[in-house]
Amino acid sequence: MASGEDALHEIENRQSAAFDKVKTLVDRARSAMRQIRHYDQQQVDEAVTAIAWSLYKPKHAEMLARMAVEDTGMGNVESKIIKNTRKTFGTLRDLMRAKTVGMIGENTAKGVVYYGKPVGVVGAVCPSTNPSATPANKAMMAIKGGNAVIIAPSPSGYSTTRTCTELMREEIVKAGHPENLVQILPSPVNKELTQALLEQVDLAVVTGSQNNVRRAMTSGTVAIGVGAGNVPVIIDESADLDDAADKISQSKIFDNATSCSSENSLVILDSVYEKAVEALERAGGWRCSLSEAHSVQSILWVNGKLNREVIAKDASKLADLFRLPNEARNKDFFMVEEGRVSGVGGFADEKLSLVLTLYRARDFTEAQLIAKKILDVKGRGHSVGIHTHNIQNARTLAKNTDVVRVLVNQAHTFGNGGGFNNSLPFTLSMGGGTWAGNSLDNNLNFRCFINVTQLVTTIAEDKPSEEDLFGDYWKKVGK
């Protein structure tokens, strides 16, 4: 009994210490917010630009990319440099076009004026897959609304995120703004600290671990969590097969498939199946034999859980781990074929690695059904894609599939989180709506970080007659 009581006291002491540490950070954040509460849009935008430049600056983007790969062992430096710069640049573009402070809009016909106001202190839980890009991305959005942000990094990416945070703070001060607009949890980050953060901030924004998302949703704090990815993409008979294969390859291999938007499965119509696979082979794919696929599966999951040794690793290393032929070491990704959709821990599950599952569909109706079954395993609400020249197929897919995004003829990793050739907001956090247990059915964006006050004045009366509203119903069933 005594040992049980001692253990309970130890837990309570850790929770109390975590609460106090986080409270200090929250108090500093609130003080920083008070210092900027009278900022106009230009001043807020300058602080946001400072955050962006701290990561976009070429030497910083490269340094943090290298640190991320060294810290986490995931991804590759070249891709992370692109992620640090492209996402930051695109997000800054979006934010500079938005009004968030003071009067942000007016509808004279409706007699409404809109005023943007901060949501408060934001707790930003960030994943190991993007230990610099995601913290900066969330910090930019939070500060755009006049908020302060406290970052909870992944333990494995802590060194990178801490350095990124230090650079953000230095740049903010250089521009004349309070450094405590951006803070980070102290090391070592643990569940107690993260939980204390979730409970004390005004808004929790969680990307990454679905366990963290669930904890945020039950913390008592207003929370935005995003769902798991597991993107299936359909290739129909009208698609440009080489163009589709090139885009899929570029997207799949980017940062060694760390992105939640990376293609995980392809559903290919039977009439073009072999030609599509040949195009994928030309684009760098290795088509595994049945025995090779069994070997891949035995390594990919251990006791039903994704093997961390394969997550976001280079193709040459994976070829060795999977015990594939020497020729496979020179390929960029690996294709396994599955006759029917398996469950969790099978090839239909999210793989976070350079493994792409192929399914053969008799027709477009079956292709949609296969995609739905894949999403039911994981990723419901997140995204699907289609390569086609038949826009009606794309519209049918969008109508029939419970996802927030349907991308047409695009490299999913580069388009799903915002692109310069589509209208989705730039972000590293994609909501999946209630299908994924999320409150957000959009890409995370500045609107998530402001409250809006509506000033309402009277307008000419807008009251229809009873006949206008009930007339058709009365004609059908009577009064």
Taking all residues of the chain, what is their mean pLDDT, rounded to a whole number?
Answer: 96
CA dist 275 → 235, 237, 328, 390 (Å): 11, 10, 20, 18
Q: How far apart are the first and last CA of the chain?
A: 73
**Which architecture, in CATH terms, is 14-226+444-455?**
3-Layer(aba) Sandwich (3.40)
Sheet holding 450-456, edge to edge: 102-107, 112-118, 450-456
Tokens of 100: 């968030």
Rounded CA gap, 300 and 430, in Å? 25
Radius of gyration of the chain (CA): 25
Secondary structure (3-state) at 31:
helix
Could you give the CA distance from residue 196 to residue 202 in angstroms, rounded to a whole number?
Answer: 12
Question: One-letter amino acid identity for 341?
Answer: V
Please name which of 381, 23, 6, 66 lies closest in space to residue 196, comparing C-alpha atoms.
23
What is the sign, positive or negative, of the torsion defined by CA atoms of 352, 356, 361, 364?
positive
Task: Report the interhelical angle of 41-56 vs 77-96 (nearest 10°).
Answer: 170
CA of residue 172 relative to chain centroid, distance:
25
Q: Which of 228, 189, 229, 223 is nearest to 210 (CA)?
A: 228
Task: Tell me how far apart the alpha carbons of residues 440 and 455 are, in angstroms, rounded to a whole number.
Answer: 26
Catalytic residue among 164, 260, 288, 448: 260
User: Under CATH, domain 231-419 is a member of which superfamily?
Assistant: Aldehyde Dehydrogenase; Chain A, domain 2 (3.40.309.10)
Judge whether 260 counts as a catalytic residue: yes
Are 336 and 346 in contact by the 8 Å Cβ rule? The answer is no
Is-contact 27 20, C-beta < 8 A? no
SS3 76: coil
272/283 Cα distance (integer angstroms): 16
Q: Which helix (H) or strand (E) holds 399?
A: helix 391-400
| Three-state secondary-structure class, residue 404 | strand
Could you tell me which of 259, 227, 47 has the C-alpha nearest to residue 142?
47
d(CA 205, CA 203): 7
Residue 30 predicted with pLDDT over 70 = yes
**Mean pLDDT across the stretch 185-192?**
94
Q: What is the pLDDT of residue 304?
A: 84
Mean pLDDT value of segment 31-40: 98
Q: Would you say residue 2 has pLDDT above 70?
A: no
| 110: amino acid identity, one letter | K
pLDDT tens by residue, 305-318 = 899 999 999 999 99
Helices (H), 119-181: 133-144, 158-174
Q: What is the pLDDT of residues 80-135, one digit of tens each?
A: 999 999 999 999 999 999 999 999 999 999 999 999 999 999 999 999 999 999 99
Q: Is 286 exposed, middle or buried (0-12, 13-18, 19+ CB in 10 A)?
A: buried
Question: Which one, of 132, 168, 174, 181, lies nearest residue 153 by Cα?
Answer: 132
Roughly what angle, to the nearest 10 degrees, separates helices 41-56 and 133-144? Answer: 170
Percent of the chain with pLDDT over 70: 99
Q: Give CA–CA dist 101/367, Å, rounded.
A: 47
Tell me 34's DSSP state: H
Cβ neighbors of 426 (< 8 A, separation 6 or more) are: 87, 90, 91, 93, 94, 137, 417, 418, 443
CB-count exposure of residue 314 (10 Å: 0-12, 13-18, 19+):
middle
pLDDT reported for residue 1: 46
Dig out the tokens for 123 from the structure.
């707790």
How many other CB atoms are found less than 10 A from the CB of residue 353? 29
Tell how strand 381-387 and strand 403-408 pair up.
parallel
Domain boundaries, the chain: 14-226+444-455, 231-419
pLDDT tens string 270-280: 999 999 999 99
User: pLDDT per residue over 232-290, tens digit each?
Assistant: 999 999 999 999 999 999 999 999 999 999 999 999 999 999 999 999 999 999 999 99
Contacts of residue 243, Cβ cutoff 8 Å, sequence gap at least 6? 387, 409
**Rounded distance between C-alpha atoms, residue 233 and residue 384, angstroms:** 6
- Distance, C-alpha 329 to centroid of its chain: 30
Task: Match 């039977």 to its residue by tokens.
Answer: 270
CA max distance for the chain:
79
Q: Phi and psi of 92, rounded to 5°? A: -60, -40
pLDDT(458) > 50 = yes
Average of pLDDT values for 13-24? 92
Give the Cα separation of 41 and 145 in Å (integer): 9
- Write the pLDDT tens digit of every residue in 411-442: 999 999 999 999 999 999 999 999 999 999 99
